[in-house]
Structures are given as structure tokens and as C-alpha cells.
Amino acid sequence: MKMSKLFVQTLREVPSDAEVISHQLLVRAGYIRKLTSGVYNFLPLMWKVLKKVENIIRDEMDKAGAQELLMPFVQPKELWEESGRWGAYGGELMRLKDRHGREMCLGPTHEEIITSIARDGLKSYKQLPVNLYQIQSKFRDERRPRFGLLRGREFIMKDAYSFASSQEDLEKEYQNMWQAYTNIFNRCGLATKAVQSDSGAIGGNVSHEFMVITDTDAGENDVFYCDDCDYAANSNHAISKLPQAVIDGAGYFNKTEIVSTPNCHSIEQLAEFLKIQPTLILKSLVYIIDKKPVIALIRADKAAEETKLLNAVGGLEIRIATSEEIAEVMANHGFKAVPGFIGPKGMSDLTIIADETVKDMKNFVVGVNETDVHMVGANLSDLGITDLKYADIRLVEAGEFCPQCGKPLKVTRGIEVGNIFQLGTKYSKPMNGVYLDTDGIAKPYIMGCYGIGVTRTAAAAVEAHHDEYGIKWPLAIAPYHVIVVPVSEKEEQQVAVANKIYEELRSSGIEAVLDDRDERPGVKFKDADLIGFPFRITVGKTIAEGNVEFVTRSTNEKLVIKPEEAISRVIEAVKNIK
């Protein structure tokens, strides 16, 4: 491909709406262009990258024994009603009607479709286990699309689904996919960590996310991990052992009573006023879950993790209540307290979830829904809660202890590029996806689900491999392997040698670009670095001595070598791609 014909327009300025490096560089380097919020055009350079990622995925999935198919992007309401997810999936499900008034949705995922395919085609235990996968566009109507391809509304995904007749076979396939994923991401040039995670709207009891660990702003989640063992978990799933703390206030309070605590609106103000540790304060938080108020109780030195709380309630959408909503809750119960003095007393008609840390608290301090006062020396029996539910709703913090080995946990940021789920019978049971066992008895498939974000993987590669000049594509997924740059189009020898190198590379199966533009050398070099060609062969003044400049983009190492050596270096590198 000649640069003069390559459909690419590079930009020098950072797009105003691009928050993270991958978004900025993919727009600036001419890979993507925004169509509407969360939806992007994949231009020729991007499409080449995505096809390479897809082909690596196909190769490893096929090696692992999975079979590729393609399912419809538009899905009927009826199948989603069978699984119970039509009303439960939430606002991310884009619902629509066809010209006949039939309700449909744009597929955010394909559990319902694949289960319907299996129940029509997998009738006997003799056909199991089997794993079917596809690579296709998905659509999720994100409330706040951001980070370019990392959190868009339309995206490309590989999703696979396994069907087994036993938990043992499911677990074998789970490990099979774990290894396949490890191979895929290694080949894409990404170091990943598999972490325990929340299953979310997909469901299942066991799930792991494959995270690209990054210190950039694009990291979506905190990942807690232990250096002394293999424990690693997403913040929405992480657990820990807590250091010892003062959780019995008997030495501070002689009796249970209401005391004046003027202007103590925060935990810090209250602890300082009462001369106690925050560990002796029971914090009450008001959330809105599926449009209903819910009270979360937690030890005041800890924070609530919203996904854990959402799962404890069994809801779909969660957010912290506004001051106005808290005032309305108070008024509905005959109180006038402002935030900072809220408590569970008199609120038993609401859903109240207490973190596990609350169980062992004694003689603590708690709000009683009256401004400027608190109850001290309180116990749970003093609060009149008729139906208190306990759950782990605590956000883990770095330095707390590993639940497996007891060593301090560390935290980093991660970008999710893949996930695997043990679904069990979540879909097969309600959808009557059954096979006949050895005794002729109908039993539901035991299912697994395995997803890789193709577009996310490409964007994560940019987050992991870049510098101040542009992208540093891993060779296996780079749109082209090498760019050949004659410094001056007016120098016949430079142009002739550059063309010869270019043709030799192409004839050897190398994906090469010749920058034949009549541009200044600086423009050519900046574009080459921005676009991220793994190798650059520059034909300049040194050609008079029979040499060219050879640049390796990943290290920015520059060598002055013979043209034939530059060619052989590229060929050898490409040959070694897995």
C-alpha cells in the first residue's frame, strides 16, 4: 500500500471529547471516527487491526475445539421473556418494534438465542459437551458511553457458549477457555490477570475477568491482588480480612442514650466530637435501587461497594440518593433529619442491608433521624429493625489482608478485555433446554459463557503500548508491519531504493507501506510514529554509503544498516509471530 492511496487522515490536536489515551490516539491516527455517542466508524487501519485480533481469536478457539457460527443481531422479545430477562435486563437493552408491531431488541448478548439453537439441535448426552462461538457486533445502550472503544454502545465481541451434561465437564471447559484466553491475549501482546468478578446481568455463580493491568486513566476497575498467592479480584467481588479494630464501645459509653452532637454532619466531625474511633460508628447510607429507597448499614470507617449492594438486594440499577430524596424518605416516616444524622430506627418498612462488619459491633454510635443528636452505646436490638439482612457490601481497601493467605492486599487499575462464566442452568432451565441422559431422562444443559471484547482488546493494546509520539502496536495486530520512507521524493536514488525495498518486502508476504508523499521528512516521521508501524525503514542521505536507517517502534531503537539486512530483520520478526 502506498501512503498516497491509504485512506487515513492524521490529526495533530487531541479531540476535545477524548478522555483516555486510546481514544485520543485512535482518532488522531485516523483509525476511528465518531458517528454518534458511543458509536464509531472503523476506518481501514482499524478494520485491519480488528480482523487480526479476530483471526487470533478464531485460531485459538478452533484449536480449543469450539465451533464458529453466526447468530442474528436482532432478537425477538419472546425468547427474552422465556429467560425472564426482557423486563430484568434494564436500560442497556435497546428495545424496538418492527413494522408489524412485534417487539424486538438489538443483541447485547446471545444467551437466549444460543440456548434456543441448542434445544433444537442437542437432544442426547452423546452430543455433549459442545462449545459454539461467534464474532459479531453487539449493542448496549450505555447511560454514559465514554473512553472511546473501551465503553461504547456498539462494539464487536466474541461470545462462546458451552453445553455439558455434568458440572465436571463444565469445569473442564472453563479451564480450557481459560487457557485459550491466556493464549489469545499473549498473542495480542497483552499481559492479563484473571480476577474473580461479579457475574452481573449474564448470571452464574463463578466468573472471572481477564484484565489488562494499567496505570492509565482508562482503567475501569480497581483490581485487588496478593503477591504471596494467586488471589486477585475485581473491586465488585473482592473480599478481605480486616485488621483488628475497636468495635465495642463499652469503655466509652456507660449506657444507651440519646446525646447532643451539634453540627456533626460527617463521620470525622462525629468521631472527633465524641473522642472515639470511626470503627465505633454505624453509618447509614440511603441508596435508590430500582427507584426504591434502600438503607445500607456499614462500619463508618468503611465504604459500601454498590455492585455488591445491588446484588444483595437483587436489583438492576443503583445510585446514591440525593439530598432531596433523603428528605422525602425522612418526611414519609415523620422525620426531618438531614444527612449525617440518618439511621435505621423507625425504617423497618424499607429494605435494610447490613454489611458483615456490623454483626460484631457493640455499644456503638448511630443516627436516630433527628438533626444534631445521635444514640450512643447502642446495639442492634435497640434499633427496632424487624427484618435485617446481612451481606458483604464492603469495598475492600489496599492493605487489608488477603482472604487466602493473610498477607496485605495491593490494588491496581485494570481494563476488562474478556470474561468467563459458569452459568449452570440459569438459561437452560427456564427455556427448557434439555437433553436425554443415559436413562432417557430429560435434564437441562449445564452451560458456560465466554466473552472477549474485540474492539476493547484493540483499544487496550493502545493503552498498554504507546508513548508521547503515538501508538506502538504489537506486531501481531498492527495494521501493517513496516513503513518505508524515502526522505526526499526529489532524490532519485532514495526513491529508487525505497521502491525496491518496498517491492521485496511485499513479495516476501510482508504488509508494507511506502510513504510516497511529497511531504517534509518530519511530517512523514510523525505520521509513522503516530500510526504505530512496528518498523520503519528510512532511505535518506546514508544511502550514498549503501545504508538505511532501521527503527523499531516498540523500543525506538535506531540502527544504520544495509537495506538487505533491514529487509531480513522484518521478515524474520514477522515469521516469528505465533
Residue 530: burial class (beta carbons within 10 Å; 0-12, 13-18, 19+): buried
Q: Which helix (H) or strand (E) holds 81?
A: helix 77-83
Cis, peptide link before residue 444, omega less than 30° from 0: no
Based on the fold, state whether residues 351 and 260 are members of the same structural domain: yes
* Same domain flag for 269 and 200: no
Same domain membership, residue 377 and residue 261: yes
The rounded distance, in Å, linking the Cα atoms of 221 and 230 is 19
Do 306 and 362 lie in a common domain?
yes
560, 564, 567, 571 alpha-carbon torsion, rounded to 10°: -130
Contact 474, 49 (CB under 8 A): no
HSE (side-chain half, CA atoms, 13 Å) at 563: 22
* 282 and 310 fall within a common domain: yes
Please tell me whether residues 232 and 153 are part of one structural domain.
yes
| Residues 269, 142 share a domain | no
User: Do 223 and 109 lie in a common domain?
Assistant: yes
Can you give the pLDDT at residue 94?
A: 94
The answer as to whether 9 is a domain residue is no
Non-local (6+) Cβ contacts of 531 within 8 A are 8, 10, 29, 30, 45, 470, 471, 479, 483
Q: What is the pLDDT of residues 233-250, one digit of tens each?
A: 888 889 999 999 999 999
Sign of the torsion angle spanned by Cα atoms 381, 382, 384, 387: negative
Does 533 fall in a domain?
A: yes
Question: Where residue 270 sits, what CATH number does that domain have?
Answer: 3.90.960.10
Of 118, 114, 120, the C-alpha closest to 80 is: 114
Report the domain count for the chain.
Answer: 3
Q: State the DSSP code for 553.
A: T
Same domain, 448 and 491: no
Grid cell at residue 520: 517534509
In a domain, 206, yes or no: yes
Cα dist from 515 to 12, 479, 495, 499, 553, whole Å: 18, 15, 10, 10, 16
Q: Is residue 14 part of a domain?
A: no
CA 417 – CA 184 distance, rounded (Å): 11
- Termini Cα distance of the chain: 24
d(CA 181, CA 159): 12
Distance CA 89, CA 78 (A): 14
The pLDDT value recorded for residue 198 is: 64
Q: Which pTM was predicted? A: 0.85
- Per-residue tens of pLDDT for the chain, all 578 residues: 999 999 999 998 888 888 899 999 999 999 999 999 999 999 999 999 999 999 999 999 999 999 999 999 999 999 999 999 998 887 889 999 999 999 999 999 999 999 999 999 999 999 999 999 999 999 999 888 888 999 899 999 999 999 999 999 999 999 999 999 999 999 999 999 888 876 555 555 688 999 998 766 666 778 899 988 889 888 888 999 999 999 999 999 989 999 999 999 999 999 999 999 999 999 999 999 999 999 999 999 999 999 999 989 988 789 999 999 999 999 999 998 888 899 999 999 999 999 999 999 999 999 999 999 999 999 999 998 988 999 999 999 999 999 999 999 999 888 999 999 999 999 999 999 999 999 999 999 999 999 999 999 999 999 999 999 999 999 999 999 999 999 998 889 999 999 999 999 999 999 999 999 999 999 999 999 999 999 999 999 999 999 999 999 999 999 999 999 999 999 999 998 86
Does 521 fall in a domain? yes
Q: Cell numbers of 295, please? A: 438503607
- Name residue 550's beta-bridge partners: 537, 559
Q: Cα separation of 320 and 119, whole Å?
A: 42
Place of cell 493464549: 183
- In a domain? residue 356: yes
Q: Looking at the domain assignment, is residue 430 inside a domain?
A: yes
Single residue among 438, 463, 488 that ends a domain in this structure: 463
Q: What are phi and psi of 304, to 5 degrees?
A: -85, 145
- In this prediction, residue 60 carries a pLDDT of 98
Q: Taking each helix axis from N to C terminus, what angle separates 454-464 and 21-28, rounded to the nearest 10 degrees?
A: 100
In terms of domains, do 508 and 374 share one? no
> According to DSSP H, which parts of 508-557 are helical?
521-531
The pLDDT tens digits of the residues spanning 277-323 come to: 999 999 999 999 999 999 999 999 999 999 999 989 988 789 999 99
Identify whether the C-beta of residue 501 lies closer than 8 Å to the C-beta of residue 484: yes
The confidence score (pLDDT) of residue 216 equals: 66
Q: How far is CA 69 from CA 58, 113, 169, 349, in A?
A: 11, 12, 22, 50
Whether residues 491 and 532 share a domain: the answer is: yes
Q: What are phi and psi of 453, to 5 degrees?
A: -80, 110
pLDDT at 201: 52
Determine the pLDDT at residue 386: 86
**In contact, 188 and 53? CB cutoff 8 Å:** yes
Last residue of a domain, one of 359, 391, 423: 391
Burial call 386-398: b when 16+ CB within 10 Å, e when fewer: eeeeeebbbbbbe
Q: Answer yes or no: are the C-beta atoms of 72 and 136 closer than 8 Å.
A: no
Q: What is the CATH number of the domain that holds 536?
A: 3.40.50.800
pLDDT tens digit sequence for 353-388: 999 999 999 999 999 999 999 999 999 999 989 889
Query: What domain range is 494 assigned to?
Result: 480-575
Are residue 168 and residue 149 in the same domain, yes or no? yes
- Give the residue carrying C-alpha cell 495486530: 477
CA-to-CA separations, 241 to 244, 310, 391, 401, in angstroms, rounded: 9, 22, 15, 5
The per-residue pLDDT for 317 is 84
CATH of the domain at 134: 3.30.930.10
Residue 396 is assigned to a structural domain of this protein: no
